[in-house]
Amino acid sequence: MRIHCPFCGSRDTGEFTYRGDAAPTRPTVPDEAAFIDYAYLRDNIAGPIDEHWYHLHGCRQWLTVRRDTVTHEIFSAVFAATLATEEAR
């Protein structure tokens, strides 16, 4: 599988570290039950999902990759910081 890094171009996934689903957000209020849900309970989605990947052996940037978990087809890859900035607006 190859990921197209916006900075480095198309690279093999061996250059990246997988973090997981990009959807969960860390609870801001100190609530033990909410934190346990955040840390341990994940959906096992079959189909398109946004994931976080770290380009360890390249530009060392976090990417948000839109990927189908069934076919492993990659639809897009953008810098996670750019996406977070756009969502904050």
**For the segment 30-84, what is each residue's pLDDT rounded down to a tens digit?**
899 999 998 898 888 899 999 999 999 999 999 999 999 999 999 999 999 887 6
Number of other CB atoms surrounding residue 67 within 10 Å: 20
d(CA 66, CA 8): 18
Q: Would you kindly state where each structural domain of the chain is located, as residue ranges?
A: 2-88
Quick check: 26 pLDDT over 80?
Answer: yes
Helix (H/G/I), strand (E/B), else coil: 68: strand
Could you confirm whether domain 2-88 is CATH 3.30.2270.10?
Answer: yes
pTM given for the model: 0.83
**For the segment 60-72, what is each residue's pLDDT rounded down to a tens digit?**
999 999 999 999 9
